[in-house]
Amino acid sequence: MLALMIAAISVSCEKEKEVIQEASIVGTWTVVDLVRTNCTDGNNSTITLDCPTFCWILTFNADGTMSDSYIDSNITVPEVIQSSYTYLDNTLTVCDPDGTSNCYSVTMTFSGDSMAISSVEDDGVSSCDLTINLTRN
């Protein structure tokens, strides 16, 4: 889900050799809300996720792989997307599992057991600053 959402709002990038800089990213994180601000069309909004009814879970492994899980009480099998990632200097770069194609980068910041992923959402008609707030499980 994260891969699909951010891929739609980000420009593809070329994969560089990077290393996972901090162990703080490793673990399982649950999305708390998505906040859209500074929207050129005036449609600022906050979407709060109510897990377990509606969950979006990211799991970052120490080996540079990650899973992006979407769980909804209306579906019987969770949607899970596998990817590779690097994290360096507050920049998270996510790529297809082969690690060489369909890459995108976002800004990531930490505060204790909270994480914020920031990017610009642009659908060609309007744009917004998008912040995805997560908490460590």
16 token code pair: 């560089």
Which domains does the chain show, CATH number per domain?
A: 2-136 (2.40.128.20)
Burial class of 39 by CB neighbour count within 10 A (0 to 12, 13 to 18, 19+): middle
Residue 128 near residue 36 (C-beta atoms within 8 A):
yes
Q: List residues bridging with 120 in a β-sheet.
A: 129
Lowest mean pLDDT across 13-17, 28-32, 80-84, 123-127: 13-17
- The confidence score (pLDDT) of residue 77 equals 82
* Residue-wise pLDDT tens digits, 7-23: 433 333 333 334 444 55
Quote the CA–CA distance of 49 and 36 in Å, as a whole number.
14
- The confidence score (pLDDT) of residue 78 equals 82
Confidence of residue 79 (pLDDT cuts 50, 70, 90): confident
Instruction: Please say if the pLDDT value at position 31 is more than 70.
Output: yes
- Strand, coil or helix: 123: coil
* Residue-wise pLDDT tens digits, 85-133: 999 999 999 998 766 678 989 999 988 899 999 999 998 999 999 999 9
- The confidence score (pLDDT) of residue 134 equals 96
Side chain identity, residue 67: S
Residue 106 near residue 119 (C-beta atoms within 8 A):
yes
